[in-house]
Amino acid sequence: MDAVDIEEVRLKFDREAGYRKIGGLFTWVVSAIAVAFSLFHLYTAALGVLPAQLQRSIHLGFALVLVFLLYPGRHSGRDRLAVSDVILAGLSVVITGYVAVNLTALFYRAGNYTTLDMVIGGLAILLVLEAARRVVGLPIVMVASAFMLYCYFGPHMPGFLQHRGASLHRIISHMYYTTEGIMGIPLGVSSTFIFLFILFGAFLERTGIGRLFIDIANAIAGGAAGGPAKVAVITSAFEGTVSGSSVANTVGSGSLTIPMMKSLGYRPEFAGAVEASASTGGQIMPPIMGAAAFLMAEFIGIPYLQVAKSAVIPAILYFTGVFIVVHLEAKKSGLRGLTKEEIPRLSTIIRERGHLIIPLIGIIYFLVEGATPTKAAFYGILLALAVSALSPRTRMTPRDILAALEQGARNALAVALACATAGIIVGTVTLTGLGLKLANGLLELAGGHLLPTLAFTMLTSLILGMGAPTTANYVITSTIAAPALVKLGIPVLAAHMFTFYFGIVADVTPPVALAAMAGAGIAGANPLKTGIEATKLSIAAFLVPYFFAYSPSLLLINVTIPGIIRVTAGAILGMLGIGAALEGWLVTAASWPERIAFLVGGLLLIDPGLYTDLLGGAILLLTYLLHRMRARGIHTRGIHTA
């Protein structure tokens, strides 16, 4: 595909890419606002975050203004700026500025708000919903609106959903003038760590780290069987450290890896699925995960570093699972790798551009040393600037710095509006007690049993993922389902991680599967078939959450170093068994009894229990030996026949 085709795919599947492109004075104005947005966050990161509602209102104000200027109300308006959008941008300044200027007065008249307060608050809710519709999509707006209607019509709700109801005055004041609604924890996290980590990613991209990741992956795996597909897996794992968007990852690295895969004989559906699956896994890849991971740390009240550490083994299993299936597909299809001339030298890459990885190492160091995520991201940005200057090939010019500041602000808009809208959902829960009601209802529906409760939680996350971004998806499911899982004895981190994982997997689960659709668009493949292939490749993400729900040692909870080694090694062998079962291939084509045995042995090995590991290992070893003997027999018969 050429550059124009890639851009069409990006616009079709990634709402965040649907900017107005007008030029002239408009471009300068938008750039100036975006740069100011980023500079505000760098200023507060360096000198200290402002009081919660002040920090959040300014953050929301910048985001709303940029959304109304950049994103048209209708797709047909991308080539012009409507007067109505300028008015909406101006109103955004008014409603957020009202909170910033009157913060003390609003605090003192809490519960006794004026008519003007109510008008401003009601307008703010409408503006947030409209901005979210433009940049995130209609489904999340419909969900948030349904939650607010629930607040008002509580007395008319059936069964356990019934509550005494809330007046319009109470709903507006709770949703906008407290830290329980729009200005709540999700927006608070967006206005501190998330924005700075997104900005950090924008600075890293400007240094050329994306090309570095692809070259390193080519040097490591390009020559192996089906090398380009393995390059896609490794590259997307790396890319996940600087981008939290499955679709953006798919389109970015996929524009290079998918054509390479097709040129070596991979089916278009498989090529698109490999990139989509690997890119989706980027959101669960430490040290910098998707935005919802930062919310998780805040909701649970644990350091973000602990969340990242807990995600290490599941992330390894996810990418190992994709890598194994890719390898077996290559062997089954007899695909070759890149030629020696096409593979860059790893020593040359590291010597010329290896220093670009230092900021990622620095982020980990700062977090380990006890820095807050805000400070760690701030120091990481400074380190990226300093490191880029070590070589003329990577040095950032003033123009590059301004471009990174602008791009970081643009990349943060969807997350900011998703968080603000998710705040409405959280506000409904705190106002009505809905979270406890739904948790109890979920337990009652599942009969108090863990497995059906986990299954209902998974289905809820996947269905929400058809329209809600991961951030909002996690907020809803962690509010509704996580308390139910905790009641059944699952550690709180494991319960939240379970909902987080399935919110992410929704990006490759048909029928919507936006990341898979983007991969199919680049590959020229059937979208539904690509989604099915991507689901198969992402099997680890469907299985591992169930295992860490039952055995939290996969999340490094209450486990020793020898235990970590055993759990990790066993789970990786388990993924090999599951991969062989899915592909129907290991040394040669596997028979159906062998595939079933590989699947059973693999599942037992992923379960971290000692006895399940021993049993699964025995089944896998015995099946492998029988399979290999049969393969030799086939090979011998082939020679005799020849």
Res 318 pLDDT > 90:
no
Q: In the predicted model, is pLDDT for residue 140 greater than 90?
A: no
**HSE (CB half, 13 Å, CA atoms) of 547?**
29
587: tokens are 């040394």
Best CA proximity match to 314, nearest among 132, 81, 494, 92 = 494
Residues of the chain by 3-state class (helix, strand, coil), percent to 5 = 80, 0, 20
User: In this predicted model, which residue has the larger pLDDT, 423 or 7?
Assistant: 423
User: pLDDT band at residue 99, thresholds of 50, 70 and 90?
Assistant: very high
Number of residues that this document lists for the chain: 642
Highest mean pLDDT among 38-47, 452-461, 519-528, 581-590: 38-47
How far lies 220's CA from each of 224, 234, 340, in Å? Answer: 9, 9, 12
Q: How many CB atoms lie within 10 A of CB 565?
A: 11
Q: Please, which residues have CB within 8 angstroms of residue 34's CB and are 6 or more apart in sequence?
A: 66, 405, 406, 409, 410
Comparing CA positions, the residue from 259, 205, 222 lying closest to residue 3 is: 259
Residues 106 and 117 sit within 8 Å (Cβ to Cβ)? yes
- pLDDT score of 263 more than 90: no
Judged by DSSP in three states, 589 sits in strand
Residue with tokens 């990226």: 384
8 Å CB contact between 57 and 100: yes
Record the tokens describing residue 316, joined without a space. Answer: 């390894």
pLDDT tens profile 370-411: 888 899 999 999 999 999 998 888 889 999 999 999 999 998
CA 552/CA 491 separation, integer angstroms? 8
* Least-confidence region, from 95-104, 248-257, 505-514, 619-628: 248-257
Tens of pLDDT, residue by residue over 601-616, are 998 988 878 888 899 9
Backbone dihedral angles phi then psi of residue 323, each to the nearest 5 degrees: -60, -45
Do residues 524 and 2 lie in contact, with contact meaning Cβ atoms separated by under 8 Å?
no
Contact by Cβ (8 Å): 418, 134: no
- Picking from 233, 594, 177, the residue whose alpha carbon sits closest to that of residue 427 is 177
The pLDDT assigned to 639 comes to 53
Peptide bond into 51 cis (omega under 30): no
Q: How far apart are CA 553 and CA 565, in angstroms?
A: 11
DSSP, collapsed to helix, strand or coil, labels residue 483 as: helix
Q: Is the dihedral of CA 552, 555, 558, 564 positive or negative?
A: positive
The number of helices, as runs of H, and strands, as runs of E, in the chain is 32, 0
Backbone angles phi, psi at 589, to 5 degrees: -60, 130
> What is the rounded CA–CA span in Å between residue 63 and residue 30?
11
Tokens for 371, please give them: 């820095």
Surface-to-core class of residue 207, CB atoms within 10 Å of its CB (0-12 exposed, 13-18 middle, 19+ buried): buried
Task: Read off the pLDDT of residues 524-562 as tens digits, 9 standing for 90 and up.
Answer: 888 888 988 888 888 878 888 988 888 888 898 887 888
Q: What's the pLDDT at 4?
A: 45
Q: What proportion of the chain, given as a percentage, has pLDDT over 90?
A: 32
CA distances from 538 to 154, 213, 254 (A): 40, 22, 17
CB-based contacts of 579: which residues, under 8 Å, 6+ apart?
Answer: 321, 324, 325, 327, 328, 602
Residues 554-599: pLDDT tens digits? Answer: 898 887 888 888 888 888 898 899 989 988 888 888 889 999 999 9
Burial class (CB in 10 A: 0-12, 13-18, 19+), 345: exposed
Lowest-pLDDT range, 242-246, 332-336, 545-549?
242-246
- Please state, in angstroms and rounded to a whole number, the distance separating the CA atoms of residues 130 and 594: 54
Report percent pLDDT > 70 for the chain.
94
pLDDT band at 518 (very low <50, low <70, confident <90, very high): confident
State the residue for tokens 């708000």: 113
Sign of the four-CA dihedral 419, 425, 427, 433: negative
Mean of pLDDT values over 146-165: 90
pTM: 0.84
For the stretch 142-147, contacts whose Cβ atoms lie closer than 8 Å and that sit 24 or more positions apart, written own/partner, are 142/467, 143/425, 143/464, 143/467, 143/468, 143/472, 143/476, 144/421, 144/422, 144/424, 144/425, 147/424, 147/425, 147/428, 147/434
Spatial contact of 516 and 530, defined as CB atoms under 8 Å apart: yes
Q: Which residues contact 623 (CB under 8 A, 6 or more apart)?
A: 594, 597, 598, 601
10 Å CB burial of residue 441 (0-12, 13-18, 19+) is middle
